[in-house]
Amino acid sequence: MPRRPCRLPLLAATLLAATATPALARQAAPPPTPAAAMSQCSRLWTGHEATIERHLATATVVAMEAVPTGVTKPQRGTFAPGGPAARFAWKALPPSRRNGFPESYKAEIAAYQLDRLLGMNMVPPVVERTIDGKVGAAVYWIENTTGWNKDKPAQGPEPEWSRQISRMKLFDQLIANVDRNQGNLLYDRDWHLFLIDHSRAFTTRLATDGIAAINTVDRRLWATIDALTAADVSRALGAWLSPAEQEALLKRRDRMRQAIETLVKQKGASRVFLD
């Protein structure tokens, strides 16, 4: 099925509404009227990242509710009507160890910033915000999506679907994401695959056990990952990751390079790389 361009409907008319104050209002929330409802495509932030980041950070929040899924117990917030985002996920997770895993809201922001650095457009916008005295990550809520069903995995049009799966695996290996599961994989009717929930990633862990192995490689994304320097990582992620976590990311990248070289020797470049 051919893809149509993703556009944020009526963006120009909503920019003034995106400057609302950050105070958390206590009135009942109106039914959300997401802009995404006007399109099959849910990747509406591309090209409008700065506007949506500003909205996530400053728009008036009119309601908060518990989200029934997710081991980190996130909440879902609703913004006052009129802006470029209707809702957001709220993860107030100060860096600590929970249920045997290191977790941090900062990892959510780092995942988004790394996605931008790599040009993936698979992780929705995330910003730091304070609500009711708690600092956390406000994550753009992607409207009109379908959750992954492990018993009947999605299969979008090829070859783009296989490229997206490859990108996901490369990304998870790079960030040491031990928590990829059906609850944090979404896709829309235009078969865009979205990656959410990265609060357990970006630790100093180097081992990749428990993370989906690489079997094919999106050549363009890998070239970008392979070219990353310490300066690149520091510039994009230094506000959110410790020097040790940044160093570990590059060490994992080096291990990925070795694994890909081994794959090519075993299978041949034509069966490994997706052009």
Does the structure show a pLDDT above 70 at 156?
Answer: yes
Q: What angle do CA 113, 115, 119 make, to 5 degrees?
A: 120
What's the pLDDT at 30?
Answer: 41
Does the structure show a pLDDT above 90 at 20?
Answer: no
Task: Name the nearest CA neighbour of 185 among 147, 143, 139.
Answer: 147
How large is the average pLDDT for residues 134-142? 97
**Picking from 53-62, 118-127, 202-211, which range would have the lowest pLDDT averaged per residue?**
202-211
Query: pLDDT tier at 152 (50, 70, 90 boundaries)?
Result: confident
H or E element at residue 44: none
What's the pLDDT at 8?
Answer: 59
Does the structure show a pLDDT above 70 at 25?
Answer: no
Distance CA(98)–CA(102), nearest Å, equals: 6
Give every CB contact of residue 49 below 8 A, 6+ residues apart in sequence. Answer: 116, 125
Task: Name the nearest CA neighbour of 57 among 108, 92, 18.
Answer: 18
What's the pLDDT at 224?
Answer: 98
What's the pLDDT at 35?
Answer: 42
Q: pLDDT by residue (tens digit) across 35-91? A: 434 447 899 999 999 999 999 999 999 999 998 765 667 899 999 999 999 999 999
How large is the average pLDDT for residues 168-187? 93
Tell me what the pLDDT averaged over the chain comes to.
87
Q: pLDDT by residue (tens digit) across 234-259? A: 999 999 999 999 999 999 999 999 99
Does the structure show a pLDDT above 70 at 168?
Answer: yes
What's the pLDDT at 126?
Answer: 98
User: What pTM did the predictor assign?
Assistant: 0.86
Question: What are the Cα distances from residue 85, in Å, to 51, 77, 175?
Answer: 10, 11, 27
Cross-strand bridge partners of residue 137? 91, 128
Question: What are the Cα distances from residue 203, in Å, to 34, 99, 249, 260?
Answer: 34, 15, 8, 22
Query: pLDDT tier at 17 (50, 70, 90 boundaries)?
Result: very low
What's the pLDDT at 255?
Answer: 97
Sheet of 87-91: strands edge to edge? 61-66, 75-79, 87-91, 134-140, 126-131
Does the structure show a pLDDT above 70 at 18?
Answer: no
Check residues 181 and 206 and name the one with the higher pLDDT: 206
What's the pLDDT at 89?
Answer: 96
